[in-house]
Chains A and B, each alone.
Chain A
Amino acid sequence: MLTRRIIPCLDVRDGQVVKGVKFQNLVNEGDPVELGARYSDEGADELVFLDISATLEARKNVVDLVTRVAREVFIPFTIGGGLRTVDDLEAVLMAGADKTAINTAALVRPELITEGAHQFGSQCIVLAVDVTRQGDGWQVYSHGGTKPTGREATSWIGEAVDRGAGEILLTSMDADGTQAGVDLEITRQVSELVSVPVIASGGIGRLEHFADALTAGKADAVLAASVFHRSIISIKDVKNYLAGQGIPVRPLGD
């Protein structure tokens, strides 16, 4: 049976892993390749590296990061952050990334999804979506969660999947950094809407939150950052807990 995936997320700024609360107050938490390899050894099913470097100069180093990660870890990994063109996608894919996460660039020019999926396959194109609750719905934000787009989450995600997005990385900004659990309502709505896998993100603080996202939220995978970086929860804890709840996970050591 297909197992549910547990994915540590490493936000990388200027070559260092950082984590903030609600996209603010970033704190350094270590070397991305070292951390990535450690998570892989501990049983992470995939890794996501999001580059949030402010300058173009620092972004160029992402390709080096990808090359180093690809030599160290033998599980799939995704690169996101600042990828704007098909050439940007190609550069990180050719350096060894398995998937690319695109967010703002896809909102600005949705054809990027179509072109990327056509050239590299849908499995390489992860659409990252940052949403916040607004009235009865959820609005999509761009630019690292700073700009409202006026787009409704399910409409945008539906369009993106039609264009060839192979996976959805859904982050509830309201929940992000709160450690109060993912927003189950929008996670479930999106999971039921699309035929591609959905990765739930934002707000994971306790073991139960992983299970909730996968059962009530119907997500295929859960992404978390600070609980892992700060050793509040280990990947082993998560796998053991989920297995105990009857949720299929890849056992440790396989």
Chain B
Amino acid sequence: MIGLVNYGMGNIGSLGNALDSLDAPFIYSANPDELGHCQRLILPGVGAFGPAIERIRQLGLDKFLQAWAADGKPLLGICLGMQLLLDTSYEHGAHKGLNLIPGEVRKITGAERDVHMGWNQVDPLGGDPLMPQPGYGYFVHSFHCVPASETAVIGLTDFGGSIAAAIRTDNVMGVQFHPEKSQAYGLALLERYAHGRI
């Protein structure tokens, strides 16, 4: 069973639809007791970092997710959910994140647009089992993850320079693009997370 952490930031129905198409059983929940019975968790998220981490704290999910990660259980953050895994974000002021992967979330600079929106090539790094072959993911973000350790980056894309498309430290992983909206490529990644040896 996969737990989709439903803390009220954005529509997570698309993720559910994608998991349905993969025959991967899941629940939506913001309740630590319910989520605690799952084998794998997905932390989605759309919107701004500040309100999101605030909401997670209000629901008591920060402590739960930190304990979950410390137990070595798999956690996948998607888009804002990936950024929340880091220790600090500079989106509209400085905010503390979940601190599961050391690193910072910074504004994208150097590209022709402020927002990285659309399909971009994702190149896997280091042969991580979460990552399919190179393919195209659908991105929508104007801040990006900069992990403290380069070895935490398991997928790269290029938007005004190299940016992290996927990160991982042990059982905690994140993807910046939306696999649930990235057609066959995205579904392949979710399939690996849902059913694979990760």
Quick one: closest A residue to B190, CB to CB? A74
Cross-chain contact B10 with A254 (CB below 8 angstroms): no
CB <8 Å contact, B184 and A76: no
- Interface segment out of the listed B27-35, B95-103, B113-121, B166-174: B113-121
Classify the secondary structure of B's interface with A: mixed
Asked if B46 and A76 sit within 8 Å, CB to CB, the answer is no
Most buried by B among A4, A166, A221: A166
B50 touches A (CB below 8 Å) = no
Q: Are A123 and B183 in contact (CB under 8 A)?
A: no
With contacts A2-B159, A121-B10, A196-B115 taken as known, whether A40 is within 8 angstroms of B138 at the C-beta atoms is: no
B187 contacts the other chain (CB 8 A): yes
A74 and B187 contact, CB distance less than 8 A: yes
Q: How large is the interface on B (under 10, 10 to 19, 20 to 34, 35 or more residues)?
A: 35 or more
Q: A74-B180, A74-B181 are in contact. Are A1 and B46 (CB under 8 A)?
A: no
Q: A2-B159, A96-B14, A98-B14 are in contact. Are A220 and B113 (CB under 8 A)?
A: yes
Within 8 A of B (CB), among A239-254: 250-251, 253-254
Q: In the bound complex, do residue B115 and residue A94 qualify as a contact, i.e. CB atoms below 8 Å apart?
A: no
Contact residues, A205-254 vs B (CB, 8 A)? 220-221, 250-251, 253-254
Closest chain A residue to B114, Cβ basis: A195
A3–B116 CA distance with the chains assembled, in angstroms: 11
Residue B38 at the A interface, CB < 8 A?
A: no
Select from chain B the residue with minimum beta-carbon distance to A253.
B184
Residue of A3, A98, A167, A196 near B181 (CB, 8 A) is A98
Tell yes or no: B198 within 8 A of A by CB: no
Residue A120 interfacial (CB < 8 Å): yes
A74 to B178, alpha carbons, bound, how many Å?
A: 10
Cβ-closest chain B residue relative to A96: B13
- Name which of B10, B139, B183 has the most chain A CB atoms within 10 A of its CB: B183
1/0 per residue, CB under 8 A from B, across A182-202: the answer is 000000000000011100000
- A250 CB contact (under 8 Å) in B46, B119, B186: B119
Question: Does B59 reach chain A (CB closer than 8 Å)?
Answer: no
**A196 contacts B114, C-beta separation under 8 Å:** yes
Q: List B contacts of A167 (CB < 8 A).
A: 117
Task: Produce 1/0 per residue, B75-111, CB < 8 A to A.
Answer: 0000000000000000000000000000000000001
| Distance of A254 Cα from B184 Cα, bound (Å) | 7
Q: Which of A3, A74, A93, A251 has the most CB of B within 10 A?
A: A74
Most B-side CB within 10 Å, residue of A4, A76, A96, A196: A76
- CB of B158 closer than 8 Å to a CB of A: yes
Cβ–Cβ contact A96 & B17, under 8 A: yes
Inside 8 A of B21's CB, which chain A residues have their CB?
Answer: 74
Complex contact A94–B18 (CB within 8 A): no
- Chain B residues near A76 (CB, 8 Å)? 138, 140, 178, 181
CB atoms of B11 and A96 under 8 A apart: yes
CB atoms of A1 and B120 under 8 A apart = yes
Cross-interface CB contact of A1 among B11, B17, B115, B158, cutoff 8 Å:
B158
CA A253 to CA B186, docked complex, whole Å: 12
Task: Determine if B135 is an interface residue (Cβ-Cβ < 8 Å).
Answer: yes
Contact flag A45-B119 (CB < 8 Å), given A75-B183, A123-B140: yes
11 residue pairs A–B, Cβ–Cβ below 8 Å? A1-B121, A2-B119, A74-B17, A74-B21, A74-B187, A75-B181, A75-B183, A96-B17, A121-B10, A197-B117, A253-B184
B residues with a Cβ closer than 8 A to A are: 10-11, 13-14, 17-18, 20-21, 46-48, 111, 113-121, 135-136, 138-140, 158-159, 178, 180-187
Known pairs A1-B158, A2-B117. 6 more at Cβ < 8 A?
A1-B120, A2-B111, A2-B159, A74-B182, A96-B14, A120-B47
The residues of A with any CB-CB pair to B shorter than 8 Å are 1-5, 40, 45, 70-71, 74-76, 93-98, 120-124, 166-167, 195-197, 220-221, 250-251, 253-254
**Shortest 5 CB-CB contacts between residues of A and residues of B:** A250-B119, A195-B114, A254-B136, A121-B47, A123-B140
